Amino acid sequence: MSAFELYSLLAAGLFAVGLYGFLFRRDLVRKIVALNVIGASVFLLLIAIAYRNREDWPDPVPHAMVLTGIVVAVSATALALAVAKRIEEETGASCLPEDEDAE
């Protein structure tokens, strides 16, 4: 099994784990963490593909995309956390109103 196959399989598994957290955990901060896990899995797949496409060095285009993605992910996370905090201040619950009766 090549490194490309191994890490892209990990990406698939990581995506599923993150999706579970995002869909089935109620708490908003947990959903945001799970979304970051999904993001990490996408980055992993891109970098694994860049590694497969290496000649003298790995493909720099996916590398630049992932670098951009990491910065975008942290900005989106910060904004999402601020919104989550605001929701908690307004409703007193750290989850979305429609999730309050669930679980």
Partner 1 sequence: MLERGIDLVICVAILALAIRLVSGQDLFRSIVLFIAMGLMLALAWVRLAAPDIALAEAAIGAGLTGVLLIRAGQGQRMRGAVAAVAGAVSGGGPRRVVATAGSVGITAVFAVVMVFAVMGLPTEPNGLTGVAAANMEASGVDHAVTAVLLNFRAYDTWLEIGVLLLAILGVLAIHRRYDCGGMRVEAPTMRVLSWLARVILPLAILTAGYLYWAGTHIPGGAFQAGAVVAAALVLLALAGSRGVAALRALPLAALLVLSFAAFLAVSIVASTGNGMLHYRDGTAGLLILGLELTIVISTAVTLAALFAGAGPRAGAGEPRRDAATERPKTL
Site for partner 1 in 39-68 (CB under 8 A): 40, 43-45, 47-68
What is the distance between the alpha carbons of residues 64 and 17, in angstroms, rounded to a whole number?
26
Contact 65, 53 (CB under 8 A): no
Output 83 or 98, the one with its CB closest to partner 1.
83
> Binding to partner 1 by residue 7, rule CB under 8 A?
yes
Q: Shortest distance, CB of residue 43 to partner 1, whole angstroms?
A: 7
> Binding to partner 1 by residue 17, rule CB under 8 A?
yes
> Binding to partner 1 by residue 35, rule CB under 8 A?
no
Contact 37, 18 (CB under 8 A): yes
Task: Copy the structure tokens of residue 76.
Answer: 């989106």
User: Which 72-101 positions form the footprint of partner 1 (CB under 8 A)?
Assistant: 72-79, 81-91, 94
The size of the interface with partner 1 (CB under 8 A), counted in residues, is 81
Closest CA to 6 of 44, 34, 36: 44
